[in-house]
Amino acid sequence: MNWLRRHPLFTIIVLLPTAAAVLYYGLIASDVYVSESRFVMRSPQKEAQGGIVGALLQGSGLSRAQEDSYSVHDYILSRDALRELDAKLGVRNEYSNHGDWLSRFPGPEFWSTSFEAFHRYWGRQVTVDFDPESSITILRVRAFTAEEAQKVNDLLLQMGERLINDLNERIRRDTIRFAQDEVQLAEERTKQAASALSSFRGKQALYEPDRQASLQLQGVAKINEELLTTQTQLAQLRQVSPSNPQIPSLATKVDLLRQAIAQENAKVTGGAGSFSSRAPDFERLSLERTFADRQLATALAALETARAEAMRQQLYLERLVKPSLPDDALEPHRVRSMFTIFVASLIAWGVVSLLVASIREHTE
């Protein structure tokens, strides 16, 4: 006691803070329960990457898993997530009505009851740690009850999964929308081309000009054969029996066959209304339809490719460890905190004592 009276600084700097720490951590400080969960981001595209390229991406810190995980991390710590937590679980009341006067909100550090002050306070209750090597994220939630810590942790994971699903839907919609528009446009062109070709066939009574012309020419060939046979008979009769009564009828038949050949040839190679005059329009419409069909096939293939690409870009939040229900309070670290304060007080007392001694020596 005499030594303490001669060294009042030791009492002020060491004994009083240490006694306050023992009193607070021994009798006042509330238990804090920590719920921990672990998750990882997965995507088919990332899993398909391998070999040297995948190793380079992983080593350079540009891997897909890191980029995808950071978006979830930011959302978990965001104000939007905190508003939703407060609306569903009432976390503000939970952290305001439980805990000691130093731990609860608002405490000595957060005198304001505004949402911004609570968001800063909340940033100390939730921690998100990311391991770049394994791409595993560790989510820890601190609360004054074990059930509350687990519920908040689980809801944060559900909100992260919902965020990933929204991103997946947006990626799928943006990736496929353009391809679907191209398919619709190609389908409309195909319908128009088919309708134009069908209308032309109906008006012109023409289905396949080449095939119909070929059939027409086959008929002309048969008539030519018949004409040749008739002319041969006529020539023989004129030579053998010039007065044969069949000669006039054969001559008439020859003239009729020649007229029929001329008429049939006119249908193929004549002027307006012939196959040859109507063929260019038919070929143009047929070519337009063929081009439209090919364009539609290309658009459908592009749509399937877009869907496959959208599936490859899908993200998945996979829970490795579910939110734990702690059966013992992990914080505060009472003994360690008291010992830390005692050691820090001793160091501060030593520094102040040296300063005081130096001042006294300088004054003397």
Summarised one tens digit per residue, pLDDT across range 137-157 is 999 999 999 999 999 999 999
pLDDT score at 4: 61
Q: How far apart are CA 47 and CA 52, in angstroms?
A: 14
Average pLDDT for residues 232-257, to the nearest whole number? Answer: 73
When pLDDT is cut at 50, 70 and 90, the band that residue 274 belongs to is very low
Q: How far apart are CA 49 and CA 135, in angstroms?
A: 15
Least confident of 44-53, 260-269, 291-300: 44-53
pTM above 0.85, yes or no: no
Number of other CB atoms surrounding residue 117 within 10 Å:
15
Token pair in block for residue 177:
């929308």
When pLDDT is cut at 50, 70 and 90, the band that residue 45 belongs to is low
Average pLDDT for residues 112-125, to the nearest whole number? Answer: 89
Least confident of 40-54, 55-69, 191-205, 317-331: 55-69
CB crowding 62-93: b at 16 or more within 10 Å, else e? ebbbeebbeebeebbbeeebbebbbeeeebbe
pLDDT score at 52: 44
* Percentage of the chain modeled with pLDDT above 90: 22
Q: Is the pLDDT of residue 62 over 70?
A: no
pLDDT score at 290: 79
Report for 43-57, 63-77, 146-160: range of highest mean pLDDT: 146-160
Per-chain mean pLDDT for the chain: 77
Which candidate, 175, 88, 159, 185, places its Cα nearest to that of 317?
159
Q: Is the pLDDT of residue 270 over 60?
A: no
Q: How far apart are CA 148 and CA 125, in angstroms?
A: 12
Contact 192, 288 (CB under 8 A): no
pLDDT score at 54: 45
Say if residue 332 is preceded by a cis peptide, omega within 30 of 0: yes
Burial of 57 (0-12, 13-18, 19+ CB in 10 A): middle
- Return the SS3 of 325: coil
Q: Is the pLDDT of residue 223 over 60?
A: yes
